[in-house]
């Protein structure tokens, strides 16, 4: 048989036999005892083989997975959950992502006005919608920029149950900065129309886990007004009640700890020859003193009271339903995991904590609540 040929690919002749060159390779015809055309159908395979094939397809890149979902109706139904399992929304893809939902991509002020005119809900009526059903498969949602957040808010107003089961929501750094600075949940502070966007996201999303890409601080200055930051985090923690909060890209400005589990992913260590990583007195120039101070602000005596006072500072005295700081988890039940700190992970943890709180009384056994990872 010639290289590259296959008996099932060889045409069968129907005319009289012709002389054959003895030097030419012999072509074999494939047997077809049932008279079938040889069309392959996936469902002819054993169920366990079909499962393996679809598991392979689900691991393809998003573009390849989208192409596979167009093969047939059955493939589309089988692959749609994997195709929409993880979705990001941004200015670049908002129209494509939300096509078919009937939204107009309004400005923040126009969206708030329309909602107010409709009595607190969107001006259009939600109906059974194929795209809304597809977005119901989303488990991980990432909000990339302000335009994406605005489009998401409008989509949520039009279709209240758009994302019924979310394992994780990621707020990119520009979005989180925008939410904090918009005046969300800060009575007596300037409030922009964008605060309505944040209020809408808070009201309609319920993620099990929250990830925040933390904005970088500039010249060692704090990223946020501490009261605004504490208020917005308190709103997210109380209304969403996530099982954990992850902060990524944390530099010199560490966030307050309010949730049951906080995972703080730090920026890389700064090399400093004067610091020995196995010395319990020091960490690297980036993390040693910063982590100590952060731990004291979380677990130090009366530190929790000061944080709750900062949250209460932005409360609306005329609103009985305003944020209640007492609804936040107690610090004695909070756990903190620091990642990207090899300088501290290499130390004796108990010795590091003993030195940290040598002159700072604590309210609980911190050793059971803190972990360090390289």
Contact at 8 Å (CB) between 271 and 341?
no
What is the reported pLDDT for 52?
A: 73
Q: Tell which residue, 261, 260, 256, has the closest CA to residue 231.
A: 256
In sequence order, the 6+-apart residues with CB closer than 8 A to the CB of 270 are: 284, 285, 286
What is the reported pLDDT for 9?
A: 39
Q: What span, in angstroms and rounded, lies between the C-alpha atoms of 241 and 227?
A: 20
Beta strands in the chain (DSSP E): 86-89, 140-143, 166-171, 207-213, 244-250, 261-266, 335-339, 370-372
Q: What span, in angstroms and rounded, lies between the C-alpha atoms of 214 and 174?
A: 9
Q: Tell which residue, 233, 244, 199, has the closest CA to residue 311.
A: 233
Q: Which residues in the chain show pLDDT less than 70? A: 1-45, 49-51, 54-58, 60, 67-68, 70, 72, 78, 119-128, 183, 185-193, 217-222, 270-283, 285, 314-322, 331-332
In sequence order, the 6+-apart residues with CB closer than 8 A to the CB of 221 are: 253
Helix (H, G, I), strand (E, B) or coil at 235: helix
What is the reported pLDDT for 269?
A: 81
What is the reported pLDDT for 164?
A: 92
- Following DSSP, what letter does each residue of 244-290 receive, concatenated? EEEEEEE-SSPPPP-SSEEEEEEPPPPP-TT--TT-TT---TTTHHH
For residue 184, the tally of other CB atoms under 10 A from its CB is 25
What is the reported pLDDT for 301?
A: 83
Burial of 189 (0-12, 13-18, 19+ CB in 10 A): middle
Q: Tell which residue, 287, 282, 285, has the closest CA to residue 266.
A: 287
pTM over 0.85: no
What is the reported pLDDT for 210?
A: 97
For residue 57, the tally of other CB atoms under 10 A from its CB is 17
Q: Where are the domains of the chain?
A: 46-82, 84-204, 214-374
Tracing tokens 């409008």 back to the chain, one arrives at 154
* HSE-CB of 170 using CA atoms within 13 angstroms: 16
Contact at 8 Å (CB) between 193 and 233?
no
Helix (H, G, I), strand (E, B) or coil at 48: helix
For residue 299, what are the CA distances in angstroms to 141, 255, 281, 307? Answer: 32, 14, 19, 11
Q: What is the pLDDT of residues 209-252, one digit of tens each?
A: 999 999 876 655 567 888 888 888 988 998 999 999 999 999 88
Q: What span, in angstroms and rounded, lies between the C-alpha atoms of 305 and 14?
A: 93
In sequence order, the 6+-apart residues with CB closer than 8 A to the CB of 196 are: 108, 111, 112, 115, 153
Q: What span, in angstroms and rounded, lies between the C-alpha atoms of 36 and 132?
A: 42
Helix (H, G, I), strand (E, B) or coil at 41: coil
């Amino acid at each position: 048989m010639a290289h590259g040929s296959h008996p099932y690919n060889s045409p069968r002749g129907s005319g009289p036999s012709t002389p054959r060159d003895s030097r030419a390779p012999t072509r074999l015809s494939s047997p077809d005892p049932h008279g079938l055309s040889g069309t392959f159908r996936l469902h002819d395979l054993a169920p366990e083989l079909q499962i393996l094939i679809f598991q392979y397809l689900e691991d393809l890149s998003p573009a390849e997975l989208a192409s596979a979902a167009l093969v047939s109706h059955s493939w589309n139904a089988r692959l749609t959950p994997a195709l929409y399992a993880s979705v990001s929304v941004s200015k670049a893809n908002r129209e494509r992502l939300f096509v078919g939902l009937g939204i107009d991509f309004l400005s923040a002020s126009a969206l708030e006005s329309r909602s107010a005119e409709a009595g607190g809900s969107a001006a259009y009526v939600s109906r059974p919608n194929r795209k809304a059903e597809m977005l119901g498969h989303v488990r991980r949602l990432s909000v990339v920029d302000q335009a994406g957040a605005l489009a998401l808010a409008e989509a949520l107003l039009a279709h209240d149950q758009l994302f019924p089961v979310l394992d994780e929501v990621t707020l990119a750094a520009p979005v989180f900065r925008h939410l904090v600075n918009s005046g969300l949940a800060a009575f007596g502070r300037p409030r922009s129309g964008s605060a309505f966007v944040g209020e809408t996201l808070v009201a309609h999303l319920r993620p099990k886990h929250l990830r925040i890409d933390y904005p970088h601080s500039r010249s060692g200055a704090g990223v946020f007004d501490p009261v605004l930051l504490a208020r917005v985090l308190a709103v997210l923690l109380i209304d969403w009640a996530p099982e954990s909060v992850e902060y990524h890209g944390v530099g010199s400005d560490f966030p307050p700890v309010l949730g049951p589990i906080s995972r703080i992913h730090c920026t890389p260590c700064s090399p400093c020859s004067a610091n020995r990583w196995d010395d319990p007195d020091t960490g690297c120039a980036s993390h040693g003193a910063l982590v100590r101070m952060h731990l004291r602000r979380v677990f130090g005596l009366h530190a929790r009271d000061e944080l709750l006072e900062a949250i209460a500072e932005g409360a609306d005295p005329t609103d009985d339903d305003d944020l209640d700081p007492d609804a936040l988890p107690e610090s004695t039940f909070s756990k903190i995991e620091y990642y990207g700190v090899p300088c501290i992970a290499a130390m004796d943890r108990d010795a590091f904590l003993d030195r940290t709180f040598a002159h700072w009384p604590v309210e609980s056994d911190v050793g059971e609540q803190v972990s360090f990872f390289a």
